[in-house]
Amino acid sequence: MVAEVQLGSFRCFESATVQPAPGFNLVAGANGSGKTSLLEALYFLGRGTSFRASRAEAAIRFDADRATLFARLGVGLASRVGLEISRADGLAIRVDGVPGTRADLARALPVQILDPASHELVNGPPAGRRQFLDWGVFHVEHGFLPAWQRYRRALQQRNAALKTRSPSAWVWDETLVAEGTLVDACRRRFLDALAQRVAVVGERLLGAQIDLAYQAGWAEGTALAEALAASRDRDLQLATSHVGPHRADIRITVRSRRARDSVSRGQEKLVAAALTLAQLELVAGARGQTVVLLVDEPGADLDREHLARLLTEVAAAPAQAFVTCLDPASMALPPGARAFHVEHAEVQALL
């Protein structure tokens, strides 16, 4: 968990230091005050990227050449993480003072988010669901990342050969089968466990049965080697690989109907929250420690009853939570919580 976070020339902040509680933290302030930017800083420290912009440089304060972020952590795999975002040199990551990668950040500070765009986990394209799934698999299945990296390298080589109509494209199929089968097995094990927890959390949040089904990226009951061989003509014609774990998806149903076609925007947000909270339980259990959960404007699209249900689940989760809102008086804080007020790019502790 985060014991202290420091921001320098990040978004609207010239400098700021926050010492959060280990459990629930409320971040209040007017629109445009910097609440979401504080959450973005924490997300950067655990992911090495932003949930708001595709380019890291967009987070640098307008009058600066570089932004810096630093977090001092509690008990865990690392005690310090930091990064520098430079307009000239890009992103530099350090973990315990040593240059690192995004994977090193993720191991040191696992961070997940619920924000107004979380409904896209339900109704958005498969890539978002794969990314969500793989974050959890990464933390629970230790063999997943190297297998996925080898699979991706082989896939890039195969696709490059397909673009030149080269017969060498098929030499990568053996690697794709070996590594893709490992990736698929890791995902299936995690999703089986996730589905059990989602059913429980979903009932409390939504009062309905949420079911998950894994779609591997090729026909169920067919071996990956067979699917790749059967797809060769199509792959060659369209110059890309059409089957494999890179095409996987999660089918989400509510009351036995596909969620994206049957629930409201607010219900989509609760379904996404159920998936995220269930995922955090599995990751925290596998790591033996709490993780960080960012919740930006939880009241959007939710009525008072369902907002209360969501906040109850967040407060009970094995996570250090950072929750934003406009008015701190609008939320009842759990015991041990801290509240912060953000105004004019300055952070003041209220409790």
Give, for all 351 residues of the chain, the pLDDT tens digit.
Answer: 899 999 999 999 999 999 999 999 999 999 999 999 999 999 999 999 999 999 999 999 999 999 999 999 986 666 999 999 999 999 999 999 999 999 999 999 999 999 999 999 999 999 999 999 999 999 999 999 999 999 999 999 999 999 999 989 999 999 999 999 999 999 999 999 999 999 999 999 999 999 999 999 999 999 999 999 999 999 999 999 999 999 999 999 999 999 999 999 999 999 999 999 999 999 999 988 889 999 999 988 899 999 999 999 999 999 999 999 998 887 888 999 999 999 988 999 987
At residue 318, the 3 state secondary structure works out as coil
What the block records as the tokens of 108 is 């040191």
- Assess contact for 170 and 152: CB atoms under 8 A: no
Predicted pLDDT at 344: 87
- Assess contact for 105 and 93: CB atoms under 8 A: yes
Predicted pLDDT at 289: 85
What the block records as the tokens of 117 is 């765009």
pTM value is 0.95
In 3D, which of 309, 259, 239, 317 has the Cα closest to residue 285?
Answer: 317
In 3D, which of 148, 126, 128 has the Cα closest to residue 137?
Answer: 148
Whole-number Å distance between alpha carbons of 154 and 310: 42
- Assess contact for 268 and 123: CB atoms under 8 A: yes
Task: List, in order of start, the domains of the chain with CATH numbers.
Answer: 1-113+296-351 (3.40.50.300), 117-291 (1.20.1050.90)
Q: What share of the chain is helix, strand, coil (3-state, %, to 5)?
A: 45, 25, 30
Predicted pLDDT at 273: 97
Predicted pLDDT at 300: 85
Predicted pLDDT at 77: 61
Q: Where on the phi/psi map is residue 204: left (φ > 0), alpha (ψ -120 to 50), or beta?
A: alpha
Beta bridge partners of 214: 250
Q: What is residue 334's DSSP assignment?
A: P
